[in-house]
């Protein structure tokens, strides 16, 4: 009789009910992977920038993540001293190993692609609210042949900031961010080429478009997860020293 209980629960709609809004979806994402998502990540990133004339320019970066909340980018060659550190909802920009700019920033792709699985649900919800996302509005759609949840806008509305989540895997796949009112500009960020990593997932390709035109592509290789990383990599005060010691 006990064997029949899960089947009965599914038939009655009692097991894993579909989330009714963005708040419930974020909780479902967190609860699905809280015990299995990796806490560190390192990879080499090959970039392709495309200008308005279609000309492509390439570059290579090395990136490290300590989750939740820490991300470091080293522009290669590493001895150029250029890079960015994201930490404590701030962005620190370095040129020739000197800090040249600091500004407050909630990094939406870091929050939705990684931190959501590891930090308290209320922390994620607060950050998404700061980003102007209407968590009460959600609908279902299809993206690249897979069913998705869309939070922040009604169906067919691309003029409100919104994020898309794969319904089966509960992983972030897309974000739309409109420009200032009347500008007609819509930035479109996409996580693609998801691969299983232990009990979690990793998107090995990220694509950025503006008004449907590709402007930036990131492709990740030499991917490592779960390995110890020096905490100094994410300390802006130790930007140069941590790089040399890594």
At 245, the pLDDT band (50, 70, 90 cuts) reads: low
Q: Which of 4-8, 15-19, 21-25, 132-136 has the lowest mean pLDDT?
A: 4-8
What backbone phi and psi angles, to 5 degrees, belong to 157? Answer: -100, 110
Using one digit for the tens of pLDDT, what is the confidence trace for 106-142? 999 999 999 999 999 999 999 999 999 999 999 999 9
3-state secondary structure of 245: helix
pLDDT at 7 over 80: no
pTM higher than the cut 0.85: yes
Architecture in CATH of 16-245: Clam (2.50)
Q: What is the pLDDT of residue 4?
A: 46
Contact 234, 40 (CB under 8 A): no
Using one digit for the tens of pLDDT, what is the confidence trace for 161-189? 999 999 999 999 999 999 987 788 999 99
CA distances in angstroms from 147 to 68, 135, 152, 217, listed in the order given: 27, 19, 17, 24
CA distances in angstroms from 137 to 149, 151, 164, 180, listed in the order given: 11, 6, 12, 21
What backbone phi and psi angles, to 5 degrees, belong to 220? Answer: -105, 135
For the chain, what is the mean pLDDT?
A: 93
Using one digit for the tens of pLDDT, what is the confidence trace for 54-97? 999 999 999 999 999 999 999 999 889 999 999 999 999 999 99
pLDDT at 13 over 80: no
Q: What is the pLDDT of residue 68?
A: 98
Task: In whole angstroms, give the CA distance from residue 127 to residue 30.
Answer: 15
pLDDT at 12 over 70: no
């Amino acid at each position: 009789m006990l064997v029949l209980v899960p089947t009965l629960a599914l038939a009655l709609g009692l097991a894993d009910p579909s989330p009714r809004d963005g708040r419930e979806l974020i909780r479902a994402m967190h609860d699905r992977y809280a015990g299995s998502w990796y806490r560190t990540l390192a990879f080499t990133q090959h970039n392709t920038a495309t200008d308005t004339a279609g000309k492509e320019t390439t570059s290579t970066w090395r990136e490290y993540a300590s989750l939740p909340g820490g991300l470091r980018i080293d522009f290669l060659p590493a001895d150029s001293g250029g890079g960015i550190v994201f930490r404590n909802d701030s962005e620190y920009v370095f040129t020739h190993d000197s800090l040249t700019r600091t500004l407050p920033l909630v990094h939406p792709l870091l929050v939705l692609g990684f931190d959501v699985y590891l930090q308290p649900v209320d922390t994620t919800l607060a950050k998404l609210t700061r980003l102007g996302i209407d968590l009460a509005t959600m609908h279902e759609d299809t993206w690249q042949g897979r069913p998705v949840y869309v939070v922040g806008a009604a169906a067919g509305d691309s003029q409100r900031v919104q994020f898309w989540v794969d319904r089966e895997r509960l992983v972030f796949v897309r974000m739309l961010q409109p420009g200032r009112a009347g500008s007609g500009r819509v930035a479109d960020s996409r996580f693609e080429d998801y691969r299983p990593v232990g009990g979690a997932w990793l998107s090995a390709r990220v694509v950025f478009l503006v008004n449907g035109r590709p402007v930036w592509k990131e492709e990740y290789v030499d991917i490592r997860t779960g390995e110890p990383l020096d905490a100094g990599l994410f300390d802006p005060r130790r930007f140069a020293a941590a790089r040399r010691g890594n």
